[in-house]
Structure 1
């Protein structure tokens, strides 16, 4: 008998994706989040702007970590 999973996740990641593919997509998502938060921050008052810019900084730190991981698994050609 089929038994549904209680509270299944709304979003999932396809299993067995290559690490580089996952990191590239994470990088693009973080980059979009960075752009959205920067644009929105300047539409807010001072206290809300500070909170949103804090979130933006955390997204940027995540971006740096993902970019470094990508560089380690797939180094870019030396300039």
Structure 2
């Protein structure tokens, strides 16, 4: 009996097409790896030099830790109030961003307060 429908088409892809595609993928992966290595692990000639803080403003070495922590706490409280005032004048995503920054400041203030609670006063 004769078939009305012909046999399925023969696969026209050749092994060389698959090899070419595989080689292209390998080259892409190598390029991606080089790019990531360059940006995430730069060569020594491009590596960032160690940061050397400016000595224009220096904290006096004889100041005790409690005073430094108290000053940090007051600075964080001021930053929290400033960000709250600033957020009051904003709307939408900018307001949410400033309020998130304020929350981070408040968490830092809480941490500094906890350390201040643990500081032992000199006898």
Give the TM-score normalised by the residue count of structure 1. Answer: 0.78
Mapped to 2, the partners of 1:36 and 1:48 lie a distance apart of: 15
Mapped to 2, the partners of 1:39 and 1:28 lie a distance apart of: 17
- The unaligned stretches of length 5 or more in structure 1 are 1-5
> Does residue 84 of structure 2 align to residue 38 of structure 1?
yes
* Partner of residue 21, structure 1: 67
- The unaligned stretches of length 5 or more in structure 2 are 1-51
Q: Which has the higher contact order (CA 8 A, sep 6+)?
A: 1
Give the TM-score normalised by the residue count of structure 2. Answer: 0.52
* Partner of residue 110, structure 2: 64
**Rg larger for:** 2
Mapped to 1, the partners of 2:55 and 2:97 lie a distance apart of: 28
